[in-house]
Amino acid sequence: MTDLAKLTRKRGNIKGQLTRLETFIQNYDSSKHHEISIRLKRAEAWWDEFESIQDEIEDLDNSDEQVAERDDFGTKYFDILGRLNLLAHGGSTQDSTAPRTEVRLPPMEVPNFYGSYKQWLEFHDSFKSLVDSNLSLTNIQKFYYLKGALKGTAADVIHSLEVSSENYQVAWDLFGGKV
């Protein structure tokens, strides 16, 4: 295994720990409040470890993709630690500026896309609003929604991509996700 592959695997382990912490926050139960300070202390060490590994990776491969990894991790890391700190101090990770009345609506279905140019705009707008812009979904969940919505020739475009957090954005961009 090459040095770059080993370092990438180590970086992946840190990213996995961060994802597990995000899951803890999303599924937070007040009976687990005693775990927050311990999890926060552990997570604070991940930044230095990530930076060290990322520096080594960028010494071996200083591509835009590697630099983007640093930016993506930083954004996610500070968001998650901010939310964890909020929980530690008795706050909520949900916006609570005004009381809300919730109406129970049936779930919205993500439309299928078969690759037709005529369907593209409707699919793009629907998928973007229902899935891509949904902050409560992880990139892996978004990738599964995308794979499930694509049919026929459209599905063939991303068939060979491995389902991973990183590959979701690659897959979405293949369909002009930035349009």
41-88 residue pLDDT tens: 898 888 889 999 999 999 999 888 888 888 888 888 888 888 888 888
Q: Are residues 9 and 74 in the same domain?
A: yes
Asked whether residue 26 is assigned to any structural domain, the reply reads yes
Terminus-to-terminus CA distance in the chain, angstroms?
A: 39
For tokens 């591509």, what's the residue? 63
Asked whether residue 102 is assigned to any structural domain, the reply reads no
Q: Are residues 61 and 137 in the same domain?
A: no
Structural domain including 45 reads 3-88
Q: Locate 167 and state its tokens.
A: 């590959």
Q: Helices 117-127 and 139-149, interaxial angle, to 10°?
A: 150
CA 123 to chain CA centroid, nearest Å: 21
Asked whether residue 94 is assigned to any structural domain, the reply reads no
Q: Are residues 37 and 75 in the same domain?
A: yes
- CB-based contacts of 53: which residues, under 8 Å, 6+ apart? 7, 10, 11, 14
Asked whether residue 25 is assigned to any structural domain, the reply reads yes
Runs of H (alpha helix) within 27-138: 36-60, 64-88, 117-127
Q: Are residues 62 and 10 in the same domain?
A: yes
pLDDT digits over 27-48, tens only?
888 888 888 889 988 988 888 8
Please give the model's pTM, rounded to 2 decimal places.
Answer: 0.50
Length of the chain (residues): 179
